[in-house]
Structure 1
Amino acid sequence: MVLSRIMDIMWAVPVYLFAISLSIVTISDGLHIGPIKLEADNLIIPIAIIALVYMPYAARPIRGRVMALRNADFVMAARSLGVPRWRILLVDILPNVASSIVVLAPLLAAFALLTESALSFLSIGVQAPTASWGTIIQDGEGLIYSRPMVAIAPGLAIVIVVVALNVLGDGLRDALDVRETSKRGA
C-alpha cells in the first residue's frame, strides 16, 4: 500500500521535471550508494534516472493486472491446494501478466529514448565522449544554418526509432490480445 502511494506521488510529478531535477542533483557530485560512488559522467546514472522516472508507468498497469488475477478461479484453486505463494506468482500470475509487460516495454523504451535525448541535449544526461542523439543534436545546433544535416539527421533517427517502437508495441498488443484474436478467428 505504501509503495502504491509512493508511485502515485511519482505519477503526479511531470516526467521531465522529475528527470531534470534528479539529473541536476546527481550531475554535480555524482551518486553515492553506500560505499559505491558513481561519477557524474558514468552512463549508469542517466539510465537509473530514466528507469526511476518511468517506474510508475510500468508499475501501475502491471499491479492492476495482478490485482485482477489474484481472485481468479485458478489462483483460488491453487491457494486451496496449499500451493506456496511464490509458486502461484511464478506459475499462475506471471505468465498471464507477461503479455502486458511485453506490450508495455516498447512504448516505455520510446519514452525513455525521448527523455534521454532531451536530457543529453540539455547537457544533464549522457556526457560528451559517449555518443547520444541528444548530444549530437546539441553539437549541430550551432551549425544549423551552414550544415543542417548535423542536427536534422539525429532528430530524424529519434523520430524513426520512436515511431518504430510504437508500431512494435501496437503490433504486439494486437498479436497478444486474446479477446481480439478470438474475435478475428471466429
Structure 2
Amino acid sequence: MSGGFLRRFLRSPLAVLSALLLLALAMASLAAPLVEAALGVDRTAISLLDRFAPPSAEHPLGTDELGRDVLVRLLYGGRVSLFVGLAAALASALVGTAVGLLAGYHGGRLDALLMRLTDGLIALPLLPLLIVLAAIDPARLGIPPEVAGAENASLLRIVLLVSLFGWTTVARLVRGATLSARRRDYALAAVALGASGRRIMLSHILPNVAAPAVVATTLTVGNVILLESVLSFLGLGIQPPLPSWGNMLTGAQDLVSTAPMLAVWPGLLIFLTVIAVNLLGDGLQDALDPRAVVRR
C-alpha cells in the first residue's frame, strides 16, 4: 500500500515540487544558527550605521532599518511561522479527529451535541474572533506577568487560539468518514467478536479515516500561517524581538517606498509556503485515495 501511495504521489509533479520546497524552507530555517555563525552576525544586534545596507558577502540580502541582517531574520522568522503552522494544525487535527470519531461512531445525542457545537464555531467569523481574543491582556486572565511576558508567550497564545477554533473542518470530515466506516464489514466483524467501542474506533476505524484528516491538516498549515501573519501584521501576533514573517511585514509597511525588499522577502516566503502547502494537500488527497484517477 505504501508503494502504491508513493507511485500515485510521484505522478503529481507540483505536489512533489511543493514537498521539496517546504523541506528546503524547513531545513534552511533549522540551519539559521549555522548561517548566523557563518556570516558572523547577530540577529538581535542593532547597528544604526549599517541601516539599509545593500546585499553583500556579509549581508546577502542586506540589512533592515535597524541594521540587522535580513537573511538571518528571515530564517529565524521561518522557524516561528512554520512552527506555529505545524503545531496549531496538528493540535487542531487531534481535537477534530477525536470529536469526529466520537460523533460518527456513537451517533445519537452525542453526535447531535458535538455537531451543533461544530456548526456554532463554523458560523463564527474566525479572523475577527481571533483578533478580539489576541487583544485580551493575559494579566486580566490571572496569568502571572513573568509567564505572560515570556519571549515565547505570544507564539504559544497563537497556537492555543487557533487550536481552540480551527478543528471544525477536520471534525466534520472525520465524522463523515466514520459514519461510512462503521458500517463496513471489518467494523461489523469487530463488533461481532466483542471488541470494545474504544478498540474499534482506534484500531479499525481510525486508520481507515486518516486520509481526509491528513489532507485537512496539511491544508490547515497554510491557513494558520496566513492567520499568524495577519495577526502579527496587526501587532497582535508574534511580538518582537521574536521575528516572524508576519511581524517582519509589519516593520516594513512604513518603508515600502524607501526599502521595498524588506516587505517583498517575507511576503514572498509567506506566498510560496501557503501555495506549496495547498498543492501538497491536493497531491496527498490524490495519493491517499486508491480510486484516484491516474493523471496523464
TM-score between the two structures when normalised by the length of structure 2: 0.57
Among 4, 14, 26, the alignment partner of 2:125 is 14
Q: Deviations over 1:65-98 (max 9, x none)?
A: 1122122221111111101112111211111111
Please state how far the C-alpha of 1:59 moved relative to its aligned partner.
1.3
- The 2-side partners of 1:13 and 1:121 are apart by 22
Contact 2:252 2:262 survives alignment (8 Å)? yes
Higher RCO (CA-CA < 8 Å; seq separation 6+): 2
- The 2-side partners of 1:38 and 1:20 are apart by 21
Larger radius of gyration: 2
Instruction: Tell me whether 2-11 or 133-142 shows the greater mean CA deviation.
Output: 2-11
Q: Which amino acid aligns with 2:277?
A: L
1:44-59 paired onto structure 2 within 5 Å: 44-59=156-171
- The 1-side partners of 2:274 and 2:208 are apart by 27
- The 1-side partners of 2:244 and 2:279 are apart by 23
Please state how far the C-alpha of 1:30 moved relative to its aligned partner.
6.5
Indicate the SS of the match to 1:178.
coil
Contact 1:58 1:104 survives alignment (8 Å)? yes
TM-score between the two structures when normalised by the length of structure 1: 0.88
**Is residue 2:148 matched to residue 1:39?**
yes
Instruction: Tell me whether 139-148 or 53-62 shows the greater mean CA deviation.
Output: 53-62
Root-mean-square deviation (Å): 2.1
Give the gaps of 5 or more residues in structure 2. 1-111
Among 175, 191, 202, the alignment partner of 1:90 is 202
- Cα distance change, pair 92–46 in 1 and its aligned pair in 2 (3 A): same
**Is residue 2:62 matched to residue 1:62?**
no
- Cα distance change, pair 67–30 in 1 and its aligned pair in 2 (3 A): farther
Q: Deviations over 1:127-177 (max 9, x none)?
A: 111111110000001111000010111011000000010111011111111
Indicate the SS of the match to 1:184.
coil
Q: Which residue of 2 aligns with 1:73?
A: 185
Contact 1:11 1:56 survives alignment (8 Å)? yes
- Cα distance change, pair 32–142 in 1 and its aligned pair in 2 (3 A): same
Among 98, 109, 114, the alignment partner of 1:3 is 114
How many pairs does the alignment contain? 180
- The 2-side partners of 1:145 and 1:53 are apart by 37
- Cα distance change, pair 40–53 in 1 and its aligned pair in 2 (3 A): farther
1:146-185 paired onto structure 2 within 5 Å: 146-180=258-292, 183-184=293-294
Contact 1:121 1:134 survives alignment (8 Å)? yes
Instruction: Tell me whether 84-93 or 149-158 shows the greater mean CA deviation.
Output: 84-93
Q: Which amino acid aligns with 1:3?
A: L
Please state how far the C-alpha of 1:32 moved relative to its aligned partner.
5.0
Please state how far the C-alpha of 1:64 moved relative to its aligned partner.
1.5
Please state how far the C-alpha of 1:184 moved relative to its aligned partner.
3.5
Contact 1:30 1:40 survives alignment (8 Å)? no
- Cα distance change, pair 30–89 in 1 and its aligned pair in 2 (3 A): farther
- Cα distance change, pair 6–38 in 1 and its aligned pair in 2 (3 A): farther
Give the gaps of 5 or more residues in structure 1. none
Q: Deviations over 1:38-70 (max 9, x none)?
A: 516602111111122211122111122112212
Identity %: 38
